[in-house]
Amino acid sequence: MAKILDKINKPKDIHKLEISELEKLSSEVRDLIIHTVSERQGHLASNLGVVELTIALHYCFNLEKDHILWDVGHQSYTHKILTGRKEEFKTLREYQGLSGFPNKYENRYDPFTSGHSGSAISSALGLSCGKDILKKKGHSIAVVGDGGIGTGVSLEALNHAGDLKSDLIVVLNDNNISISSTVGAVSKYLNSIRTTKAYSEIRKDINELFQIIPAIGKPLNKTMERTIELVKKNATLGNLFMELGFNYFGPTDGHDFNSLIETINAAKKLKGPILLHTFTEKGKGFEPAFENPTSFHSAGGFDTQNGLSTKEKKRKTSAYTDVFAQTITKHAKENKKIVGITAAMPDGTGLKTFAKKFPERFYDTGICEQHAVSLAGGLSVAGLTPVVAIYSTFLQRGYDQIFHDICLQNNHVVFAIDRAGIVGPDGATHNGCFDITYLRHLPNMTLMAPKDGQELKAMFEFALNMKTPVAIRYPRENITKMNYKNDEIKLGKSEILKEGKDALILAYGSMLSRSIEASKILKKKGLNVGVINSRFAKPLDEKLFLEMIDKYEQVFTVEENSLIGGFGSAVLELISDRQKEDYRVHRMGIPDKFIEHGKRDFILKNLGLDPTGIAKTIEKKLRNN
């Protein structure tokens, strides 16, 4: 039997369909998403929840002149399928394959590359204002989740849009859950709307009342009183958005094509800012994802019949996130001043266990990294020890607060920076390649990176006992066990793990185990290379480093951070400041470009940051000198 999806090769093809055909199309799209993600890791529950909504938007708008912006972007799979990428969809999140997020370099119907929540409304407003100035036609539509609508930048954009009165459509995809449960006052406000009768239901009640209104007397008065109460109740729906200057439509069933299309077509006829509020269900159409959307947020390797994992069970290994989770929980039992803070990621950062054991000392700020950092500053001044656990790529969003509210005040806040370095299939928006660079230049900040789990535990304990800002970065990977005795952690002190005579590697964090392996490869080739576990990017072990640079003719720094402003740059600055001459320092790290998606180990290999690549670079330099 022919599929309707076979007819959809570009956005305008959907306009040829009858509304009655859209239900079948949604089933086919959902089936494609489920089967593709079952074979490759991807964002499943969120995408299954917006199939009908996405189809309705494509059906009602003309993407040759209208622009749809997806906030965060991990819910854009249906959009990709409908915009000429259904054949490529099988390459989802593979190296040089289809990105798991909107990508402006991939397809002209993606106006922005997006991966961080909160920016869509601002960007869509900018597009709208630009169209006004250039006298161009077309709608600008921002699709935002109930988690993203509460971010600071979203609220700033709503405030500005309501003041400008520019044409803008904000579609609020409300499923009552972001990655973990949505938190905050805005979420509670939306929940109050969810638990209130929707407009269509209230209107139905009013119509039924008027059909039975008695002609005269007290019964009529009582009926009118009830009618007025219903109208008042309906008027409160979306009141927050109306106060901001938006025309409010909804709430609408995000899985009902007739309701969606009717509402969207009505909304797009109006001028000024509009908020279309839709209710959707994460995991819709696939029972395991519907029942457990958090587990199926990022999924892969599962049976499409029952949702059970088809991945081979590997020997139990410990990831850095797990070690952090265990360590902070252990210390929090003994130290009542430790407070855990995250920005909508209690599961991903490992703070979920902490939150269960110490709910009175746990704060989930929602997708508000700036607020999370400033909150930590206040807690520190109050006499507590806040630990802020945020992914490297998202901590970038709190940069000004780190400067102003933490480092300038010299407040003791511990930053646990997860997902530092290459994260893999999520690609450029999620790679944590810049945290050393954006933190190292801030006065009062200390930067550390562990070589393994034991060192992470030791560094965390050391950080808790400091009195100034401190950050510990660690990657998204399982821990490689190394049979080295750990020296005591002392401020700015490295440890020599291996002596050599031909060259020296100054390795930082995740690159230490790889550098050790590289030294073994080089030894088989007759080259004796020493390795130092640098531990600190700030302050550097200046005395040891300068001694070693004098001792070795060739020195190599290896890090999983941007070469610009990273650990290697710090070493070069040290040498320059001391006016050392005749030195030869070579840096290895992430080049000055955004790194695309692909498996973590594969990307590191491509960058020459695997043991073989590190050894090859060192051998080439040594052989040429």
- Averaged pLDDT for residues 524-546: 96
Residues 26 and 117 in one domain: yes
Q: Could you give the C-alpha distances from 93 to 46, 96, 491, in angstroms and in order?
A: 16, 8, 40
Query: Chain centroid to CA 609: how far?
Result: 24
Residue type, 130: G
Domain presence at residue 206: no
* Averaged pLDDT of the chain: 87
Please pick, among 30, 40, 85, 282, the residue that the annotation labels catalytic: 282
Which pLDDT value is given to residue 177? Answer: 62
Q: Which of 39-43, 94-98, 191-195, 425-429 has the lowest mean pLDDT?
A: 191-195
For the chain, the helix, strand and coil percentages under 3-state DSSP, each to the nearest 5: 45, 15, 40
- Averaged pLDDT for residues 125-148: 91
pLDDT of 86 strictly over 70: yes
Six token digits for residue 252? 């609408």
Scored b (16 or more CB within 10 A) or e, 278-292 reads bbbbbbbbbebbbee
- Contact partners, residue 319, CB within 8 Å, separation at least 6: 476, 477, 478, 479
Which pLDDT value is given to residue 181? Answer: 57
Domain presence at residue 589: yes
Question: Which is nearest to 168 in space by CA: 134, 194, 130, 113?
Answer: 130
270 versus 188: which is more confidently predicted?
A: 270
pLDDT of 610 strictly over 70: yes
CB-based contact 80:54 (threshold 8 Å): no
Of the chain, the percentage scoring pLDDT greater than 90 comes to 58
Range of the domain at 103: 4-196+237-291
CATH value at residue 596: 3.40.50.920
- What is the Cα–Cα distance from 378 to 153, expressed in whole angstroms? 21
In tens, the pLDDT along 367-426 reads 889 999 999 999 999 999 999 999 999 999 999 999 999 999 999 999 999 999 999 888
Q: Known catalytic residue: 282?
A: yes
Domain presence at residue 224: no
Please pick, among 40, 93, 397, 451, the residue that the annotation labels catalytic: 397
Question: Which is nearest to 14 in space by CA: 68, 81, 73?
Answer: 81
In tens, the pLDDT along 202-235 reads 545 545 544 555 444 445 555 545 544 444 444 4
Which pLDDT value is given to residue 180? Answer: 54
- What is the Cα–Cα distance from 501 to 274, expressed in whole angstroms? 69
Residues 257 and 324 in one domain: no
Domain presence at residue 133: yes
Q: Is 140 helix (H, G, I), strand (E, B) or coil?
A: strand
- Averaged pLDDT for residues 193-198: 51
- What is the Cα–Cα distance from 226 to 554, expressed in whole angstroms? 85
- Averaged pLDDT for residues 426-451: 94
pLDDT of 507 strictly over 70: yes
Residues 460 and 503 in one domain: no
Q: Known catalytic residue: 369?
A: yes
Which pLDDT value is given to residue 119? Answer: 87
Residues 509 and 583 in one domain: yes
- What is the Cα–Cα distance from 418 to 437, expressed in whole angstroms? 16
Residues 407 and 539 in one domain: no
Please pick, among 369, 455, 495, 559, the residue that the annotation labels catalytic: 369
pLDDT of 449 strictly over 80: yes
155 versus 311: which is more confidently predicted?
A: 155
Which pLDDT value is given to residue 204? Answer: 52
Question: Which is nearest to 112 in space by CA: 434, 429, 435, 431?
Answer: 429
- What is the Cα–Cα distance from 415 to 448, expressed in whole angstroms? 10
407 phi and psi angles, rounded to 5 deg: -70, -45
pLDDT of 11 strictly over 70: yes
Element (H, E) at 171: strand 168-174
Residues 357 and 499 in one domain: no
Residue type, 493: K
Which pLDDT value is given to residue 228? Answer: 46
pLDDT of 154 strictly over 70: yes
CATH value at residue 61: 3.40.50.970
CB-based contact 54:4 (threshold 8 Å): no
Indicate the number of domains in the chain: 3
Domain presence at residue 312: no
Backbone conformation region of residue 598, classed left if phi is above 0, alpha if psi is from -120 to 50, else beta: left
Residues 266 and 343 in one domain: no
Residues 555 and 449 in one domain: no
- Contact partners, residue 584, CB within 8 Å, separation at least 6: 553, 554, 555, 625
Residues 517 and 389 in one domain: no
Residues 253 and 359 in one domain: no
Residues 554 and 619 in one domain: yes
In tens, the pLDDT along 307-348 reads 777 776 554 457 999 999 999 999 999 999 999 999 989 999
- Contact partners, residue 317, CB within 8 Å, separation at least 6: 478, 479
Domain presence at residue 204: no
Residue type, 603: I
Nearest 5°: the CA angle 518, 523, 527 is 100
Of the chain, the percentage scoring pLDDT greater than 70 comes to 88
Q: How confident is the model at residue 178 (pLDDT cuts 50, 70, 90)?
A: low
Q: How confident is the model at residue 245 (pLDDT cuts 50, 70, 90)?
A: confident
* Four-CA torsion 150, 152, 156, 158, nearest 10 degrees: -10
Domain boundary among 291, 307, 330: 291
Q: Which of 18-32, 212-226, 483-497, 503-517 has the lowest mean pLDDT?
A: 212-226
- What is the Cα–Cα distance from 147 to 175, expressed in whole angstroms? 9
Domain presence at residue 203: no
Which pLDDT value is given to residue 193? Answer: 52
Six token digits for residue 142? 């921002």
Q: For residue 7, how many other CB atoms are within 10 A of its CB?
A: 13
Counting Cβ atoms within 10 Å, is residue 493 exposed (0-12), middle (13-18) or buried (19+)? middle
Question: Which is nearest to 122 in space by CA: 100, 97, 96, 148?
Answer: 148
CB-based contact 18:258 (threshold 8 Å): no
Cα distance from N-terminal residue to C-terminal residue, the chain: 68
Which pLDDT value is given to residue 189? Answer: 55
Residues 355 and 252 in one domain: no
Domain presence at residue 285: yes
Q: Is 558 helix (H, G, I), strand (E, B) or coil?
A: strand
- Averaged pLDDT for residues 450-463: 96
CB-based contact 140:67 (threshold 8 Å): yes
Question: Which is nearest to 112 in space by CA: 128, 98, 96, 124?
Answer: 124
Which long-range CB contacts under 8 A does 149-152 form with residues at least 24 apart?
149/186, 149/190, 150/182, 150/184, 150/185, 150/186, 150/187, 150/366, 150/367, 150/368, 151/117, 151/118, 151/366, 151/367, 151/368, 152/118, 152/368, 152/370, 152/371
Q: How confident is the model at residue 165 (pLDDT cuts 50, 70, 90)?
A: confident
Q: Is 207 helix (H, G, I), strand (E, B) or coil?
A: helix
- Averaged pLDDT for residues 558-573: 95
Counting Cβ atoms within 10 Å, is residue 598 exposed (0-12), middle (13-18) or buried (19+)? buried
